[in-house]
Amino acid sequence: MTNFSELNISESTLRSVKRMGFEEATPIQEGTIRFAIEGRDVLGQAQTGTGKTAAFGIPLIEKIDPKNPNIQALVIAPTRELAIQVSEELYKIGYDKRVKLLSVYGGQEIGRQIRALKNRPQIIVGTPGRIIDHINRRTLKLEDVQTLVLDEADEMLNMGFIDDINSILENVPAERQTLLFSATMPPAIRKIAETFMRDPEIVKIKAKELTVDNIDQYFVKSAEREKFDILSRLLNVHQPELAIIFGRTKRRVDELAQALSIRGYLAEGIHGDLSQAKRISVLRQFKENKIDILVATDVAARGLDISGVTHVYNFDIPQDPESYVHRIGRTGRAGKSGLAVTFVTPREMGYLRIVEETTKKRMTPLRPPTSDEALEGQQRLAVETLEGLIANNNLGDYRTFAAELLENHEAIDVVAAALRSLTKEPDDTPVTITEERPLPMRRERSSNNRGGGDRGRSNRSYGGRRDNARSGDRRNSRREGGRREGGRREGGQGRSRSPRRHED
Ligand SMILES: Nc1ncnc2c1ncn2[C@@H]1O[C@H](COP(=O)(O)OP(=O)(O)OP(=O)(O)O)[C@@H](O)[C@H]1O
Ligand SMILES: [Mg+2]
């Protein structure tokens, strides 16, 4: 591990990085920052959640000349959410240097952007379509751009932005530095590198697997129509602090989000058909923990960095392994642990094997919890809640009523009733989930070389218990509109929690 101070970074940026809580550079940062600061073109590949944003963000900020009021750097990101996220991170890195930046993306009123552009930002972060729009309107002057960044390059290709990128590049000086970052490196990215970059330094953080080790990966084989009930039970057993559920289509996302809400979970969906304001507000609620579950399509969640996502559920198995890597990469970020569960219908098992071959990691089969186990998960949560309240020793007047109850009833009945009132019992309210057609049949490949890195654990029945044991800092008061207040840490000390409610 390298300290940032060994990377030839200015004092002001060092201060910012320190303020952001970064102690040491991650491998991709260590590998790329030096070259990028020297002015070399860099192609960086590293697993999801390993700090690629700062890997280009730090050298980019370093290169900005504060006295030059022109646009000196252009960062292209595939989606609005990512453009916002990247610009927020760049803002933090450039804070001490007082770098001016602006993000431009579709859906935002263009007139406002044009006015903001007149404030002379030095860095532009934007989505391809809107950048081109501004180029055509001549509201974006790119003659002075010295650094060009393509973030999430693989996704931009998937989204068919190649022509847009080509035409943006025609408007950026040829004498420039190009930084390209991606979590996966399909051949098309290499081709881009050959076309757009000058003798790039290729920094590939070798990982045994494409996915990080701190994500436990499971799969559930299930008929399409049983998926939702299994999902609800899993949620009750796992009790995720923050979860993202991926669906294959927009309709799927809408239906899932609604069905989960009907069953009493704090869930919202995001996908490309929602207005930009709605998407941003849903994301904000999720980041602020006002909702527990984000239901999303691939595109809507790509690259999002939301700290504290503990669980990812692939309600539909993704069509290609790269999407799988990106999806589950929303958890297990910055060294934290995470859990991923992929639903797969029997016909789709071939896809699962292809994912495993690509990630070189086997998924552990997960037995769907029974409804009794799901109930037990909720009961355990109620027990923890009570224990937390007791540990807090803040029961004041309740003692009088407790004594009254105990005079008339058996102690065990009183406690059982208290637990029952705190337990979210299985909810069978009918919901509508339209059946999705399975992916086209794909024959399973031979499985004799399936990397068995995970084999030793495959007899574990399911992830719930284990996860229960480590989720000491999850919140307990969900879904109950504030009835739950206490909780217990793994080690037994209680601590208070503020009640939460669904704020719509
Ligand atoms: N050196 C560091 N020390 C601690 N945390 C860091 C460091 N660098 C980045 N982080 C944090 O790690 C998280 C993940 O970083 P980032 O979003 O840049 O990952 P990424 O590699 O771009 O992932 P993805 O492939 O999913 O886009 C962020 O919250 C970021 O602030
Ligand atoms: Mg990223």
Task: Say which DSSP state 140 is in.
Answer: -
What is the rounded distance in angstroms from the CA atom of residue 500 to the CA atom of residue 287?
Answer: 14
Q: Give the CA dihedral 469, 471, 473, 479, nearest 10 degrees.
A: -120
Q: How far is CA 317 from CA 73, 219, 297, 314, in A?
A: 38, 9, 12, 6
Is the Cβ atom of 305 under 6 angstroms away from ligand 1? yes
What is the rounded distance in angstroms from the CA atom of residue 8 to the CA atom of residue 246?
Answer: 41
Contacts of 77 (CB under 8 A, 6+ apart): 83, 86, 125, 126, 127, 151, 152, 303
| Backbone dihedral angles phi then psi of residue 14, each to the nearest 5 degrees | -60, -40
Q: What are 106's two structure tokens?
A: 């579709």
**Which ligand is nearest to the Cα of residue 89, counting in written order?**
1
Q: What are 358's two structure tokens?
A: 């690509």
Q: Which atom of ligand 1 is nearest to the CA of 46?
A: 21
Is the Cβ atom of 150 under 6 angstroms away from ligand 1? no
Q: What is the pLDDT of residue 308?
A: 84
Task: Say which DSSP state 273 is in.
Answer: T
Neighbours of ion ligand 2 (CB under 5 A): 52, 303
pLDDT at residue 498 is higher than 90 = no
pLDDT at residue 213 is higher than 90 = no
Residue 470 corresponds to which amino acid?
A: R
Q: What are 389's two structure tokens?
A: 């309240």
Q: How confident is the model at residue 24 (pLDDT cuts 50, 70, 90)?
A: confident
Is the Cβ atom of 230 under 6 angstroms away from ligand 1? no
- Residue 57, judged by CB atoms within 10 A of its CB (0-12, 13-18, 19+), counts as buried
Question: How does DSSP assign 158-192, residue by residue?
Answer: HTT-HHHHHHHHHTS-SSSEEEEEESS--HHHHHH
Residue scoring higher pLDDT (39 or 385): 39
pLDDT at residue 491 is higher than 70 = no
Percentage of residues of the chain with pLDDT beyond 90: 41
Q: What is the pLDDT of residue 273?
A: 85
Which residues are registered as beta bridge partners of 246? 296, 314
Ligand 1: residue whose CA is nearest its atom 22 = 52
Lowest mean pLDDT among 10-14, 366-370, 471-475: 471-475
pLDDT at residue 70 is higher than 50 = yes
Is the Cβ atom of 53 under 6 angstroms away from ligand 1? yes
What is the rounded distance in angstroms from the CA atom of residue 126 to the CA atom of residue 82?
Answer: 9
The stretch 473-493 carries a mean pLDDT of 31
What is the rounded distance in angstroms from the CA atom of residue 333 to the CA atom of residue 206?
Answer: 17
Residue 494 corresponds to which amino acid?
A: G
Of 82, 31, 80, 79, the residue nearest 59 (C-alpha): 31
Q: How confident is the model at residue 446 (pLDDT cuts 50, 70, 90)?
A: very low
Secondary element (H or E) of residue 17 = helix 11-19
pLDDT in tens, 315-336: 999 888 888 888 888 887 777 7
Q: What is the mean pLDDT of the chain?
A: 81
Tell me what ipTM this predicted complex has. Answer: 0.98
Lowest mean pLDDT among 5-14, 31-40, 159-168, 257-266: 159-168
What is the rounded distance in angstroms from the CA atom of residue 33 to the CA atom of residue 36?
Answer: 5
Ligand 1: residue whose CA is nearest its atom 5 = 22
What is the rounded distance in angstroms from the CA atom of residue 367 to the CA atom of residue 218?
Answer: 10
Q: What is the pLDDT of residue 473?
A: 33
Question: How does DSSP assign 121-137, residue by residue?
Answer: -SEEEE-HHHHHHHHHH
pLDDT at residue 258 is higher than 60 = yes
For residue 181, report the distance from its CA to the centre of ligand 2, in Å: 8
Quick check: pTM over 0.80?
no
Q: What is the pLDDT of residue 8?
A: 86
Q: What are 84's two structure tokens?
A: 């916002």
What is the rounded distance in angstroms from the CA atom of residue 103 to the CA atom of residue 75?
Answer: 9
Lowest mean pLDDT among 355-364, 372-381, 388-397, 472-481: 472-481
pLDDT at residue 245 is higher than 90 = yes
Ligand 1: residue whose CA is nearest its atom 30 = 51
The stretch 191-202 carries a mean pLDDT of 86
**What is the best residue among 305, 312, 331 to mutate for testing ligand 1's pocket, by most ligand atoms within 8 Å of CB?**
305
- Residue 465, judged by CB atoms within 10 A of its CB (0-12, 13-18, 19+), counts as middle
Question: How does DSSP assign 425-477, residue by residue?
Answer: ---------PPPPPPPP-PPPP-TT---TTGGGTT---HHHHHHHH-TT----
